[in-house]
Amino acid sequence: MLEINNITKKYRKRGSIFTALDGVTFRVDKGDFVVVVGPSGSGKSTLLHTIGGLIHPDSGQILYEGRDIYSPDRVASEKYRRTNVGFVFQQFHLMPYLTVNENIKMVCSEISHQQRIGHYLEKCALYPLRNKYPSELSVGEKQRTAFIRAIVSNPEILLADEPTGNLDPQNSSIIMSMIEDFHLSGGTILLVSHDPESAKYPRRFLTLDSGKLT
């Protein structure tokens, strides 16, 4: 489904070159639950964003269903992000001027996606808050909203970058169980997490250190 072939990414920092990813190669099959772990600065987030189509690698290829997601066709790359990938970030990144409902609706390109919003809101106990703005929500409510936004358009892959990093144990548990539900429904997950909660779920670990898989 997803083939990561020998990708390298280097950054220039204060005159010196910092290697964020160094020849990383692995494969993700449909329905996999991959957890990427490693110390701070090991390149976990860079890897996730590269797979998500947001950071162009210096070399190597990322193939989704056999097609290079960094092909020169920008429209295809945008379509990949829009339809095949869902993102959850540590900082929820909700639009401050849109309500819970509108934040989720923003990514719906089909009527069927919009019809699912109510179901997810009920499931995540957000239905009564659907017309509230992000400033009126708790952090847990914000992350649940961001999670629904990531999965409402039914993506193949969920990329989650420290989704529980800002949450208390109770909310972390809720989010992790939602991620697990997505996995059980056939979704593919790449998760960057330090949360011990993630150890409860069946998964494949990848450890990154100084940009290399160990």
Partner 1 sequence: MNLFVLVIKEIFYRKISSLIILLTVVTASAVSVAVFSLSKASENETRKIMREQGLNLYIFPKGTNLIDFYSVNNTPSFPESYVDSLATSRTFDAVRHLTGILQVRYPDWTDPNGSRHQIVVVGYKDEAMQRFLSRQETMGFDVPAGTVRVGALLAKNIPEGDPFVMKGADGEPYRFRISERLTEGKGILDQGVAFNLADLQKVLGMEGQINKIEALGCVCHDGRINNARNQVQAIFPGLEVTEMSSIADARENQRLMMNKYGAFIIPFVILSALLISALLFYSNVQTRKPEIGLMKALGKSNQFVTGLFLIKAFVLGLLGAITGFFAGSLVAVYFGREIFRFTAMDIGPVWNIFGFSILAFPVLWMISSWIPALLATQVDAAGILSQE
The residue among 1 and 76 lying less far from partner 1, judged by its C-beta, is 76
List of residues contacting partner 1 (CB under 8 A): 45-46, 49, 52, 54-55, 74-75, 78-83, 85, 87, 89-91, 93, 95-98, 102, 105-107, 161-162, 165
The residue among 141 and 162 lying less far from partner 1, judged by its C-beta, is 162
- Other Cβ atoms less than 10 A from the Cβ of 68: the count is 15
Amino acid sitting at position 158:
L
How far is 8 from 43, CA to CA, in rounded Å? 10
How far is 127 from 100, CA to CA, in rounded Å? 9
Torsion of CA 75, 77, 82, 86, to 10 degrees: -170
- Cβ at position 114, least distance to partner 1 in Å: 10
Reduced to 3 states (helix: H, G, I; strand: E, B; else coil), residue 151 is: helix
How far is 112 from 168, CA to CA, in rounded Å? 33
- Cβ at position 161, least distance to partner 1 in Å: 6
- Cβ at position 202, least distance to partner 1 in Å: 27
The residue among 63 and 107 lying less far from partner 1, judged by its C-beta, is 107
The residue among 85 and 200 lying less far from partner 1, judged by its C-beta, is 85
